[in-house]
């Protein structure tokens, strides 16, 4: 049995990390004896051309795609391409959007055969077993599928009671090297579930109200293994890592007891942190904690059922400052009850907290399928403007309130983006004048490097450079710069630094073959057993 898992493209501006959900699915399938490949189109160029080659080479019986709302249309286009190329392949889609729009999604895309709803590991494995053994799909819980021209849904699958039953994510199948080359973080989870009922979130409906936990030893084993791969940061992507303070402290104590040096971040609620807890997290390697503060208006917070107050937000930011942990936060503009006055209230609150050390940003409300703001939009005073899912990136106005129209929300978002652009431009001027701080130079340099390397990666410029003869003692990177640098006439110095940085980390590999050299992006990183960086591949310069 062979299964191809696909991560559809979405923009680098969304700060992607290696697809953890697909890695969990792949781990479950491999543990069940199924051969798996992963095609990650976020960092791998070629699109349908690469897909066609992989289908011919791997010949899978099942193709599974995952998508969030903003890239679900891309996933459906890929499903159509798969059916056009290999009609016999069973096409499957999972993720939060499909889970809550299963029938609508199948109806909109005749090329899609099955939607997996909710947690997918056991469901996808059972589905593959049914295909392999020619059993009826109706025997698989947690799916919606086509049967004799009609759509049919099977009963819900219970959530996994014990997370440690899951195999480790099969990250060895992901192109981790490409993510590391871009300096992006890698993510992991230590728990699933959220007991809160925020009206704009689907997390509770996807993974349940009860917080289910991985055991502390497994959590720290995984942290250690990821740290050994050389990523700049590990993001703990739990909805609420600090839900259980005692367990959070136990994780920190285990990291410290093992003498590990790990840089990591987490999410938290403003009402669940203290200076004591944050100090222990800091000692264990936590560099930043992100809070969803959403609004500064008490009435909006109550309507959104956020169940935090401005005083708790202030206290959380102050606790982070005292503990030496960077406090980060996001606000959502356009929630029910939003007015021009409440927008200004939230903008002012962000400025107030920034003076205390908070780094923050804004999103515009996106009423995703499965959220209460979508299902009760009229009662909540929201007007949904479009079902063009590609616009649901939380950066564009897709809904409005009576007092805060889309034009006002869009202008606020544009003003914020312009302000951030002005901030970067000011750093650039100070850097040119030799007056930028080391942190400013590093921040701007990292952004420039990501943009350059991602463009090279997705344009296949390194591959197009081919191979060339090189004299003994000559610098291979100089030859590569000559071949790819013509398109970067005004940025040659930055390009040279970006290539040298990627090569020094082993993410851009130099290979010698018969007196010639060529370069290639490193795709896969071998799991390490200790805190060391994976070695370069044989044949590297």
- Lookup result for tokens 């049967």: 147
User: Which alpha helices (DSSP H) does 138-244 contain, by range?
Assistant: 176-181, 203-207, 216-227
If asked whether residues 386 and 418 sit together in one domain, one would say no
Can you tell me the distance from the alpha carbon of 430 to that of 309, in angstroms, rounded to the nearest whole number? 38
If asked whether residues 320 and 382 sit together in one domain, one would say yes
If asked whether residues 256 and 200 sit together in one domain, one would say yes
The answer to whether residue 174 is domain-embedded is: no
The answer to whether residue 160 is domain-embedded is: no
Q: At what angle do helices 245-257 and 216-227 cross, to 10 degrees?
A: 50
Q: What is the pLDDT of residue 540?
A: 46
If asked whether residues 274 and 201 sit together in one domain, one would say yes
Cβ(230)–Cβ(534) below 8 Å: yes
Question: In terms of Cα–Cα distance, which of 253, 249, 259, 350 is closest to 297?
Answer: 350
CATH assignment at residue 64: 3.40.50.280
Residue 360 CA from chain centroid, whole number:
18
Domain boundary among 153, 173, 198: 153
Q: What is the pLDDT of residue 471?
A: 87
The answer to whether residue 166 is domain-embedded is: no
The answer to whether residue 159 is domain-embedded is: no
If asked whether residues 233 and 332 sit together in one domain, one would say yes
Q: What is the pLDDT of residue 541?
A: 59
Q: What is the pLDDT of residue 472?
A: 84
Can you tell me the distance from the alpha carbon of 74 to that of 189, in angstroms, rounded to the nearest whole number? 26
The answer to whether residue 94 is domain-embedded is: yes
Angle value at C-alpha 7, between 102 and 241, nearest 5 degrees = 85
Q: What is the pLDDT of residue 424?
A: 94
The answer to whether residue 177 is domain-embedded is: no
If asked whether residues 297 and 310 sit together in one domain, one would say yes
CATH assignment at residue 231: 3.20.20.70
Cβ(20)–Cβ(189) below 8 Å: yes
The count of structural domains within the chain is: 4
Residue 345 CA from chain centroid, whole number:
30
Domain boundary among 365, 386, 404: 404
If asked whether residues 212 and 132 sit together in one domain, one would say no
If asked whether residues 135 and 243 sit together in one domain, one would say no
Q: What is the pLDDT of residue 219?
A: 98
Can you tell me the distance from the alpha carbon of 83 to that of 56, in angstroms, rounded to the nearest whole number? 13
The domain in which residue 217 lies consists of 185-404
Cβ(82)–Cβ(54) below 8 Å: no
If asked whether residues 356 and 451 sit together in one domain, one would say no
If asked whether residues 149 and 211 sit together in one domain, one would say no
If asked whether residues 338 and 438 sit together in one domain, one would say no
b/e for 379-407, b at 16 or more Cβ within 10 A?
ebebeeeeeebebbbbbbbbbbbeebbbe
The answer to whether residue 424 is domain-embedded is: yes
Structure tokens at 222: 């995984």
Can you tell me the distance from the alpha carbon of 136 to that of 485, in angstroms, rounded to the nearest whole number? 56
Structure tokens at 334: 């356009």
If asked whether residues 511 and 450 sit together in one domain, one would say no
Domain boundary among 103, 129, 153: 153
Which pTM does this prediction carry?
0.94
Structure tokens at 493: 């110095």
Regions of the chain where pLDDT drops below 70: 527-541
The answer to whether residue 164 is domain-embedded is: no
Can you tell me the distance from the alpha carbon of 55 to that of 77, in angstroms, rounded to the nearest whole number? 16
Query: How far is the CA of 364 from the CAs of 191, 353, 382, 384, in angstroms?
Result: 27, 20, 13, 13
């Amino acid at each position: 049995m062979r299964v191809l898992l696909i991560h559809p493209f979405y923009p680098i501006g969304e700060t992607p990390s290696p697809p953890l959900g697909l890695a969990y699915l792949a781990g479950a399938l491999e543990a069940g004896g199924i051969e798996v490949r992963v095609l990650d189109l976020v960092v791998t160029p070629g699109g349908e051309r690469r897909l066609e080659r992989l289908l011919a080479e791997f010949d899978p019986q099942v193709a599974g795609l995952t998508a969030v709302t903003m890239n679900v249309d891309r996933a459906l286009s890929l499903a159509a391409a798969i059916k056009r190329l290999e009609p016999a392949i069973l096409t499957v889609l999972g993720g939060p959007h499909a889970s809550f729009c299963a029938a609508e999604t199948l109806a909109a895309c005749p090329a899609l055969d099955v939607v997996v709803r909710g947690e997918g590991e056991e469901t996808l494995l059972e589905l593959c077993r049914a295909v392999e053994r020619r059993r009826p799909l109706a025997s698989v819980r947690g799916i919606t599928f086509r049967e004799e021209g009609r759509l049919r849904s099977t009963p819900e699958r219970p959530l996994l009671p014990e997370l440690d039953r899951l195999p480790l994510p099969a990250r060895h199948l992901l192109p981790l090297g490409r993510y590391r080359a871009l300096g992006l973080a890698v993510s992991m989870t230590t728990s699933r579930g959220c007991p809160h009922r925020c009206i704009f979130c689907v997390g509770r409906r996807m993974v349940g109200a009860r917080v289910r936990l991985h055991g502390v030893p497994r959590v720290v084993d995984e942290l250690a293994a990821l740290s050994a791969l050389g990523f700049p940061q590990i993001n703990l992507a739990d909805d609420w890592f600090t839900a259980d303070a005692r367990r959070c402290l136990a994780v920190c104590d285990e990291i410290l007891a093992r003498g590990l040096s790990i840089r990591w971040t987490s999410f938290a609620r403003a009402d669940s942190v203290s200076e004591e807890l944050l100090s222990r997290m800091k000692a264990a390697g936590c560099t930043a904690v992100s809070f969803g503060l959403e609004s500064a208006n008490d009435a909006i917070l109550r309507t959104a059922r956020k169940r935090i107050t401005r005083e708790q937000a202030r206290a959380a930011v102050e606790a982070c400052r005292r503990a030496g942990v960077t406090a980060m936060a996001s606000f959502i503009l356009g929630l029910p009850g939003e007015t021009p006055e409440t927008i200004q209230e939230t903008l002012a609150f962000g400025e107030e907290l920034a003076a205390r050390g908070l780094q923050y940003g804004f999103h515009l409300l996106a009423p995703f399928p499965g959220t209460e703001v979508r299902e009760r939009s009229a009662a909540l005073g929201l007007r949904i403007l479009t079902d063009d899912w590609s616009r649901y990136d939380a950066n564009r106005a897709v809904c409005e309130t009576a007092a805060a129209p889309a034009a006002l929300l869009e202008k606020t978002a544009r003003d914020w983006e312009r302000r951030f652009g002005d901030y970067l431009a000011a750093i650039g001027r100070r850097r040119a004048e030799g007056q930028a701080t080391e942190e400013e130079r590093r921040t701007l340099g990292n952004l420039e490097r990501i943009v350059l390397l991602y463009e090279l990666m997705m344009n296949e410029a390194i591959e197009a450079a081919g191979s060339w003869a090189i004299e003994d003692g000559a610098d291979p990177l100089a030859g590569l710069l000559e071949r790819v640098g013509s398109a970067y006439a005004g940025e040659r110095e930055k390009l040279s630094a970006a290539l040298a940085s990627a090569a020094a980390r082993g993410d851009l590999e130099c290979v010698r073959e018969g007196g010639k050299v060529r370069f290639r992006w490193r795709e896969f990183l071998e799991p390490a057993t200790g805190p060391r960086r994976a070695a370069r591949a044989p044949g590297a310069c």
